[in-house]
Amino acid sequence: MELSHRTLSRSGHYRDLSLSDLSPALSLGLFRQMLRLRRTEEALLAEYHPAEEMRCPIHFCIGQEAVPAALSTLVRTDDFLFSHHRSHGYYFAKGAPLRELFAEIYGRETGANGGRAGSQDISHSDSHFYSGAILSGAVSIAVGAAFGFKFKKSPQVAISGFGEGATDEGAFWEAMNYSGKQKLPILFVIENNRYATFSDQLKRQADDNITERVRPFGVRATKIFGNDCALAHRTLRSAIERLRSGDGPELVEAYTYRWNSHVGPEDDGANNYRGPEEMAFWKDNCPIVLLEERLREAGLLSDAEKARMESEIAAEIAANFKFAKESPFPKAADWRAMNYEDRSPMADRLLGTAARGAFDHDQAEAKLGPY
């Protein structure tokens, strides 16, 4: 049966997850990583309202833990990972410090970007992790990084993670063209969760056959059921191995699903863009449950072991909240120092108005002229 969102939501409980080629330690490690990401996102989601202390939009990734968990065991420190707006799973996959993610979304000075970027534009340059809210924008930047690695004959790879919505953009297809032609060491990871905001992929594209469409550009492409963490690990591992041997580029399309609204913790069901059967299929095929079933069958996970993981994760999350909430806010005076470009006085003047709390687009334009 052809893998697509239409066929998947009619296909019942998934039984093909296999641990045959994974060690017990790796299988448990993948499980722990998914659980850690899920609990982190659940905790942030629960704290968002009514506290209103996270003053930035957050695109939660609950339900989409398998790909980040698999990637977390495969990327090396000196690889570069570029993410889109739904950034937490990729930040986590790159091993960037979670307490700096918490502090960032609480707007604190100790955050990954001093509290100024928030969730969807967070980066952590020491971890070689970058995200960005411009759909497909970071894809082009990842291609540039991969070109640099090839040029320097470095064994590093670039990983570019995004949703199927990014493939609506021209920049994505330019990335296919250039990386295929130049045989760049880049892995494109698409988490296809069917929707871009509220729009079904088939309302935006003539067919849901991204893997077929990228192959003529010279991009090796595989599509998988993205809630099978063992399969995700196996597929991404082979792709990354081929990239390191200079045989790039690669694209992996993982079919998965977000359980929450497009953005924020509010329910966006009132928009009637998806039905209850579809959600029921994806909750029944939760990536954590699918792996847990096999681990328990294989005698690798007991109630006691799971409880131990849960309490370690809960302690880590509590410490991250404490760190974030006890950290200072950035000082308004720092706004001016944030302009990296000495030759753009207009930006300095605009930042000056923002620092005084007076920024207003129309007023600024009236005072400063068009910019």
Ligand X SMILES: Cc1ncc(C[n+]2csc(CCOP(=O)(O)OP(=O)(O)O)c2C)c(N)n1
Q: Give residues in contact with Mg ion (CB under 5 A).
A: 163-165, 193
Q: Which residue is nearest to Mg ion (CB)?
A: 163
We find the least distance from the C-beta atom of residue 341 to ligand X, in angstroms, to be: 22
Q: By C-beta, is 163 or 180 nearer to ligand X?
A: 163
Binding site partner of 134, from ligand X, Mg ion, none, Cβ cut-off 5-8 A by kind: ligand X
User: Min. distance of Cβ 258 from ligand X in angstroms?
Assistant: 6
Q: What, of Mg ion, ligand X, none, does residue 132 touch, CB below 5 to 8 Å by kind? A: none
Distance CA 322, CA 117 (A): 20
User: Residue 302 CB, nearest distance to ligand X (Å)?
Assistant: 35
Cβ-based nearer residue to ligand X, 271 or 363? 271
Given a contact cutoff of 8 angstroms between Cβ atoms, the answer to whether 118 and 106 are in contact is no
Beta strand 195-196 pairing with 199-200: antiparallel
Sign (positive/negative) of CA torsion 99, 104, 108, 112? Answer: positive
Q: Cα–Cα distance between 189 and 193 in angstroms, integer? A: 12
Q: How far is the CB of 163 from Mg ion (least distance, A)?
A: 3
* Ordered strands of the 250-255 beta sheet: 123-124, 129-130, 80-82, 158-163, 186-192, 250-255, 220-225
Per the CB < 8 A criterion, the answer to whether 211 and 226 are in contact is no
Determine contact, residues 239/252, Cβ cutoff 8 Å.
yes
CA-CA distance, 100 to 320, in Å (whole number)?
8
Q: Which of ligand X, Mg ion, none lies near 36, with the C-beta cut-off 5 to 8 A by kind? A: none
Which residue, 88 or 262, has its beta carbon nearer to ligand X? 262
Minimum gap (Å) between residue 271 Cβ and Mg ion: 15
Q: Which one, 251 or 301, has the nearer CB to ligand X? A: 251
Shortest Å distance, C-beta 226 to ligand X: 12
| Of residues 274 and 336, the one with the C-beta less far from Mg ion | 274
Q: Which does 112 bind (CB under 5 to 8 A by kind): ligand X, Mg ion, none?
A: none
Q: Are 269 and 205 in contact (CB under 8 A)?
A: no
What does 43 bind: ligand X, Mg ion, none (CB cut-off 5 to 8 Å by kind)?
Answer: none
Which is closer to ligand X, CB of 134 or CB of 354? Answer: 134
* Among Mg ion, ligand X, none, residue 324 binds (CB under 5-8 Å by kind): none
Tokens of 6: 């239409």
| 139 close to 172: Cβ distance less than 8 angstroms | yes
Give the Cβ contact number of residue 125 at 10 Å: 11
**Residue count (the chain):** 371
Residues that bind ligand X (CB under 6 A): 59, 85-86, 133-135, 162-166, 193, 195-197, 262
